[in-house]
């Protein structure tokens, strides 16, 4: 029997620890109200394109903003916030102890106090401070509601492996460790900016408490600048890509250890049993990824179709009536229907991992658990500042990039012109085509998430990069901009959602009243 290495022994011991049962009263909701709230939440999240791993945190942030905007505090916000999360089935009914409500309320009040003290201590933009507080608080609340998440245990394990495999030749080990930490949280845990800010804030100051408020407020500006500087580090993308390409075995290993939590050491002591469980976990992940891809396509179709349809009807239609004297419905229908159809076609062409891929993952996991130290490929050596490209060569590259962009967009314009689409509608079509290209690229990456890749370039990838990367890059910028300024999300969050959730609360209390009256008859 192979022996676990030192790091893996600590990892398995962490998964073997089980949480003590909690016998407190729990938060329970009406099942009918929960069913309605779940359907509303699915539609709302479909309009806000985010990774599955950060939807809970972003939902907490959304509820906080809506409930704090009118001057709420921990006492008035914590309980309804948790009820909304249980309504929408982010947590199973009766799974959150009522004692957690008090902890969430204390966290809300602490961060509100911190925000007030930072305003007094520094002249930093109020919008920036509020964004930071919402990011920190929503992340803190998720960690309170999901304590001892194995994702954090595995992230720390991965960090300890890769900090010795990555070197920055012209910078300090401290910066190297920070960049590896950020890359691991992005690549393995799929942390968004809010989670990254929260983890670095905790690294810098420790857990927020009443005693630390004054000190944190005093030094917040320094911490803010240093943390934001890390997100702009020149070599961050190289480090992130290196680690992301090697996280697949860790994701499968986490699945297996979670399944056998409390009995993990017995699992890893039996290599044959471990192998069968790893292969089963691979198959389960492949199936879940296929489902995730389908959900991502549905959400993307809704996101694109709703924004595109409203834009086409209210902007494109008005423009055509103003400048052409009538609305070209055929052009508008083509513009509305093409992006969702393209998304569906992309979904049908997604690949499925092979059995050999599962065996390759198994071999990597054996290396992680039993190797001394874990050997996961050639170490990465980078520079903070990459070697400067010759100005003439850079100019040639820029011209080639512009030429490929012109060729890609020119081909689309040529086809649309042949179909008789007017210039304004062509611009709208290209705008949404770029967004669809980026979203499709993201979904394709999700479909390939568990496929161990051969890093050799082939003709297909070179052709793809040459013709489609400019379109995808533009689509990425447009998607991020649309997410930030999407007026429909503001309408949903502050005009529709507030009365909608009020109706849910009314009916839940009404059903509770009826139940109490019925119980009097028993």
Decide if 430 contacts 338 (C-beta within 8 A): no
Measured CA to CA, the distance from residue 507 to residue 501 in angstroms comes to 10
Residue 292 forms part of a structural domain: yes
Same domain as 240, residue 152:
yes
376 shares a domain with 479: yes
Residue-wise pLDDT tens digits, 317-371: 666 667 766 666 666 677 667 767 777 777 677 777 888 999 999 999 998 988 8
Residues 330 and 473 in one domain: yes
Gap between the Cα atoms of 40 and 37, Å rounded:
5
Q: Is residue 3 part of a domain?
A: no
Of 36 and 514, the structure prediction assigns the larger pLDDT to 36
pTM equals 0.79
Structure confidence at residue 134 (pLDDT) = 96
Residues 392, 343, single domain; the answer is yes
Domains contained in the chain, number: 2
Beta bridge partners of 444: none
pLDDT of residue 465: 63
Whether residues 230 and 351 share a domain: the answer is no
pLDDT one-digit tens code per residue, 68-114: 987 889 999 999 899 889 988 889 888 888 889 999 999 999 999 99
Q: Is the pLDDT of residue 21 over 70?
A: no
At residue 372's C-alpha, the angle toward residues 370 and 374, to 5°, is: 75
Query: Which of 1-5, 195-199, 284-288, 493-497 is predicted with the least confidence, judged by mean pLDDT?
Result: 493-497
Q: Which domain holds residue 465?
A: 270-485
99 plus 183 within the same structural domain: yes
Residue 163 has pLDDT above 80, yes or no: yes
291 shares a domain with 204: no
Query: 49, 50, 48, 56: which is closest to 85 by C-alpha?
Result: 56
In a domain? residue 99: yes
Give the pLDDT mean for 190-204: 95
Domain boundary among 232, 247, 262: 247
Provide DSSP, 374-389: ---SSPEEE-SSPPPP
pLDDT-derived band at 294 (thresholds 50, 70, 90) equals confident
Q: How far apart are CA 495 and CA 63, in angstroms?
A: 13
* Residue at 351 is within a domain: yes
Same domain, 141 and 70: yes
Cis peptide, bond prior to residue 441, ω within 30 of zero: no
Nearest to 300 by CA among 343, 350, 349, 348: 343
Same domain, 276 and 413: yes
């Amino acid at each position: 029997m192979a022996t676990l290495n030192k790091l893996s022994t600590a990892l398995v011991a962490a998964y073997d620890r089980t949480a003590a049962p909690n016998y407190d009263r729990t938060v329970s909701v009406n099942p009918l109200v929960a069913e309605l709230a779940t359907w509303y939440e699915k539609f709302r999240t479909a309009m806000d394109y985010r990774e599955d791993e950060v939807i809970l945190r972003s939902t907490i942030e959304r509820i906080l903003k809506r409930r704090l905007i009118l001057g709420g505090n921990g006492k008035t916000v914590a309980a309804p916030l948790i009820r909304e999360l249980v309504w929408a089935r982010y947590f199973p009914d009766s799974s959150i102890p009522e004692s957690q409500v008090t902890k969430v309320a204390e966290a809300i009040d602490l961060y509100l106090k911190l925000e007030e003290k930072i305003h007094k201590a520094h002249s930093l933009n109020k919008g920036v401070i509020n964004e930071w507080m919402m990011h920190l608080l929503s992340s803190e609340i998720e960690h309170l509601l999901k304590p001892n998440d194995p994702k954090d245990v595995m992230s720390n394990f991965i960090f300890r492996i890769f900090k010795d495999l990555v070197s920055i030749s012209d910078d300090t080990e401290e910066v190297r460790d920070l960049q590896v930490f950020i890359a691991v949280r992005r690549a393995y845990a799929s942390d968004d900016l809010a989670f990254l800010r929260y983890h670095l804030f905790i690294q810098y100051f420790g857990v927020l408490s009443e005693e630390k408020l004054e000190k944190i407020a005093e030094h917040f500006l320094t911490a803010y600048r240093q943390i934001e500087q890390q997100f702009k580090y020149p070599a961050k993308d190289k480090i992130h890509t290196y680690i992301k390409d090697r996280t697949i075995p860790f994701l499968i290993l986490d699945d297996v250890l979670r399944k056998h939590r409390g009995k993990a050491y017995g699992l890893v002591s039996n290599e044959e049993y471990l192998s069968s469980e790893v292969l089963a976990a691979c198959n389960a992940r492949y199936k879940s990824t296929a489902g995730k891809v389908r959900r991502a396509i549905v959400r993307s179709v809704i996101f694109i179709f709703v924004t595109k349809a409203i834009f086409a009807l209210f902007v494109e239609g008005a423009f055509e009536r103003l400048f052409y004297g009538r609305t070209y419905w055929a052009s508008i229908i083509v513009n509305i229907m093409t992006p969702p159809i393209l998304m569906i076609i992309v979904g049908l062409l997604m690949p499925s991992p092979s059995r050999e891929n599962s065996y390759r993952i198994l071999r990597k996991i054996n290396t992680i658990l039993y190797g001394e130290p874990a050997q996961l490929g050639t170490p990465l050596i980078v520079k903070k500042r990459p070697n400067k490209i010759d100005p003439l060569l850079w100019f040639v590259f820029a011209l080639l990039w512009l030429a490929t962009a012109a060729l890609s967009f020119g081909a689309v314009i040529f086809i649309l012109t042949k179909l008789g689409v007017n210039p304004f509608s062509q611009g709208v079509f290209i705008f949404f085509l770029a967004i669809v290209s980026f979203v499709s690229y993201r979904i394709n990456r999700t479909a390939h998430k568990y496929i161990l890749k051969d890093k050799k370039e082939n003709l297909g990838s070179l052709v793809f990069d040459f013709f489609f990367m400019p379109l995808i890059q533009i689509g990425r910028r447009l998607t991020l901009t649309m997410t930030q300024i999407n007026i429909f999300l503001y309408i949903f969050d502050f005009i529709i959602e507030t009365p909608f959730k009020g109706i849910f609360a009314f009916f839940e209390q009404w059903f509770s009243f009826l139940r109490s009256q019925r119980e009097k008859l028993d």
